[in-house]
Amino acid sequence: MKKCSTFAPFKRLFSSLLVCLLAIALLSGRSTLRSLNTHAANPPNDDLSLLDAYRHVEVASVSDALEKISGHKMYMSHRMRPIFGSKFAGVALTVQLKKDPTNDPHALDGMLAAIDQGGANSVYVMAVEDGVDIAGMGGLMGTAMSARGFSGAVIDGGVRDVAYLTKIGFPVYALGIVPSTSVSHYRFAGANIPVVCDGVAVNSGDIIVADADGVTVVPRAQASQVLALAQEMDFKEHSMYADIEKLKSIQEAVKKFGRL
């Protein structure tokens, strides 16, 4: 006589549940793969996603990618140095100062208004005419920028109050450290206008990236394309370190990765 197992219904239920779980896992995997493929094919284009991504790539790779894509030098010279080690990315808020010896107490009002109009992720990019020995900003302006969430400042001129700026941790790149002032010597000439900062054209809205290697300007229209290539260059270079150590040959690593 054939025995009927009391566990047979449970076996059938378990089998059905297993099939369902496998189907869910397969569909989830396909969905994740589609999501990853879509992300790879369409790099981030909105400002917040772009800035977050740019904060994770090296400025040297961004500079190389820009030169390869545009054929132009978009990095600032060795003179543009940080007052302390820092790394940031943000959207350019441009300001121009022109030489104008004056006793007008309102000559620099527009410079201050520009700061109060900026916000989170802004980078204050100031061009000070013949300003290598003129402090374009100091502790008061840096405090305001920090309070408003600016990413940093890049000054084609000097900077002062560096002890306080270092204390509050607000990153500034400048041509030098000087104790001078722009008050009574300069006049505000415009904000959110095209400027030339240490020889590089900067437009309002461009992306500014900075790290220990220096400062690079990414035109907003090319930001996604430059980012994708910079990420690829970063990946190759970081992968090469281990190969160079293993092979004890930089030539073989360059041959393998095509990156120098």
Q: Are strands 207-211 and 214-218 parallel, antiparallel or unpaired?
A: antiparallel
Please list, in sequence order, all residues whose beta carbon lies within 8 angstroms of the beta carbon of residue 63, skipping any fewer than 6 positions away: 74, 75, 213, 214, 216
Query: Whole-prediction pTM value?
Result: 0.79
Lookup result for tokens 């302390």 = 84
Instruction: At 145, list the tokens.
Output: 């920028």
pLDDT digits (tens, 9 = 90+) for 24-78: 444 444 343 333 233 333 445 578 989 999 999 999 999 999 999 999 999 999 9
pLDDT digits (tens, 9 = 90+) for 126-171: 999 999 999 999 999 999 999 999 999 999 999 999 999 999 999 9
Q: What distance in Å separates the CA atoms of residue 125 and residue 145, rounded to the nearest whole number?
A: 12
State the amino acid at position 28 in one-letter form.
S
Most confident of 2-16, 183-197, 243-257: 183-197
